[in-house]
Chains A and B, each alone.
Chain A
C-alpha cells in the first residue's frame, strides 16, 4: 500500500503539490487524471524519491519511503517515464533487460535476452526490434519498449506515466489490457497517469483527480460519471466551460 500524507512540492515560486493525501491499496489500479502541468508526473517522482518533497510523508507498505535501504526500496518498483527515457546507447533488448543484466537480479545474457523478447512481444513488438537502437524506433514503439522495461523484472508496484499517449487505438487497447492483466494476474499495484478517458475506464479500480495541487476527487471508477464534482465532470466530458480554466 502507498500512502501519501500532506505531500508538498514547489519549484521556486511554482507551488506544484500543495498537500497531497492519497491511499493506493495493495493490488489495486489507481489512475491519476488532471490537467496538463498540474503535477502528476512530479507526484510519481516524489514517491520514487527522484524529486525530494518539501514536506509531508510518503509510506510504502508501512515504511517511510525516504529511509532505509534504497536499493531494496527501488527494487519493488517499475516505472514507465512519460518520455520513455530509454538508454539510447544500448540495444532495445538491453534496455528491457537492464535489471536482469546487472545487480541483484543478474542472470546469464541469453536468458535475459529471452525474457526481454517475451516482454517485447507482450507490448506488441516483434523480436526483430530487439537488436535495434531506441533512436531507430517510432515514438509509440519507444513508449512500448519503456513499458516492457518497466514490467521486465515483474515488480510489485508499477507506475505508468501516460502509457497510451502516441499509440494508435488498437495498440492503446492492447496496452490497457496488459496493464489490467498485470494487476489482476500478478497482483501488482499500479498507478497510471493518463489523459485518455477510455483508458481510465479500462484500467482503473479507483480514480484520483489532481487539481490545484491537491487531490480534488478520489473514488471508484464506477462513480466517475456521477461524481457530483464539477471539476471531474468538466474533465471527463472535456468541456471548455467550467470551474477549470482553459488557460493555465
Chain B
C-alpha cells in the first residue's frame, strides 16, 4: 500500500468509465444502424410503447403534481423576502417546463423503465434466451433493443409534456387554494409568460433522456454476467448510468439552449 493508491484508484476508475463510454457509443451506433433495416418487429414495438409510455403515466403524474406544489410554496416563501410573491406563476412555469419536468420525468423513467429493461434482458442473457434468439435467425439488437429505444424516444417527450402540464397545475392548486392567487390571473400569467422555445426545449430534453434511459437498460442487460448476481449488478449499473447521464445531458442541453 502506498500513499498513491487512492490516486491510482481514481485513475483506474476514470479509465474504466472512459472504456464504458466507448462501448456505450459503439452500442448506440449499432442500434442506430438497425433502426431502418428490415425486418421490423411491430408487436415488440407496440408492447414497448405501452410498457414505457402508458404505464409510466401514474408515476409521472404524481411526481410532477407534488413537485409543482412544493415549488409554488418555496417560490412564495423565497419571493416574500424581497416582496416578489407575485412571480409564483411565472417561476413555477419556467422551473417546471425548462428543468424540473424533463429531469424528474427522466429520472423516474430511469428508475422504472431502465431497471426493468435491464433486468429483463439480463435474465434473457443468463438463461440463454439471447443465444436462442440468434439461432432462430433473429438479431437481438433489432428484436430487443431497437423497439425499446424507439418507443422511449417517442413516448418520453409526451410524458414530459404531460408532466409539465400537471406540474404547473400542482403550482396552480397550491397557489390558488393556499396562497390566495386569483385562479384566472394565475392561468393568464402562466400562459403569457411561457415561450415556444421553453416548451420545445422541454420536449427535446424528454426525447434525449428517454433515449438514454432505454439505451442504458439494453446495454447493461446485454452485457450482463452469468447468474442472479449478474442480473442484479447489470440492473444497478444501468440505473446509475442512466441517472448520471441524464443529469449530465440536462446540463449540456440547458447550456446549449439557454446560455447567452
Contacts and interface: CB of A to CB of B under 8 A. Distances in A.
Interface of A: 45, 48-50, 71, 74-75, 77-79, 81-83, 85-89, 98-99, 102-104, 149
A38 B67 CA distance: 59
A12 B136 CA distance: 29
A81 B133 CA distance: 11
A85 B127 contact: yes
B128 A81 contact: yes
Interface in B122-136: 124, 127-129, 131-136
Contacts of B137: 71, 74-75, 99, 103-104
A98 B129 CA distance: 12
Interface of B: 39, 41, 120, 124, 127-129, 131-138
Contact of A99 (B124, B131, B136): B136
Contacts of A79: 132, 135
B39 A85 contact: no
A77 B132 CA distance: 11
B136 A85 contact: no
B132 A81 contact: yes
B129 A77 contact: no
B129 A86 contact: yes
Top-5 shortest CB links A-B:
A85-B128, A85-B132, A79-B135, A74-B137, A50-B131
Contact of B131 (A45, A88, A149): A45
Nearest to B132: A85
A25 B123 CA distance: 36
Contacts of A86: 129, 132
Nearest to A102: B39
A75 B133 CA distance: 12
Contacts of A78: 135
Contacts of B41: 102
Contacts of B131: 45, 50, 81, 85
Contacts of A85: 127-129, 131-132
Contacts of A104: 137
A103 B136 CA distance: 10
A48 B133 CA distance: 12
Contacts of B136: 74, 98-99, 149
Nearest to A72: B137
A74 B135 contact: yes
Nearest to A81: B128
Contacts of B124: 87
A103 B135 CA distance: 13
28 contacts: A48-B135, A49-B134, A50-B131, A71-B137, A74-B134, A74-B135, A74-B136, A78-B135, A81-B128, A81-B131, A81-B132, A83-B127, A83-B128, A85-B128, A85-B131, A86-B129, A87-B124, A87-B129, A87-B132, A88-B129, A89-B120, A99-B136, A99-B137, A102-B41, A102-B138, A103-B39, A103-B138, A149-B136
Contacts of A99: 136-137
A85 B127 CA distance: 6
A74 B140 CA distance: 14
Nearest to A73: B137
A17 B128 CA distance: 20
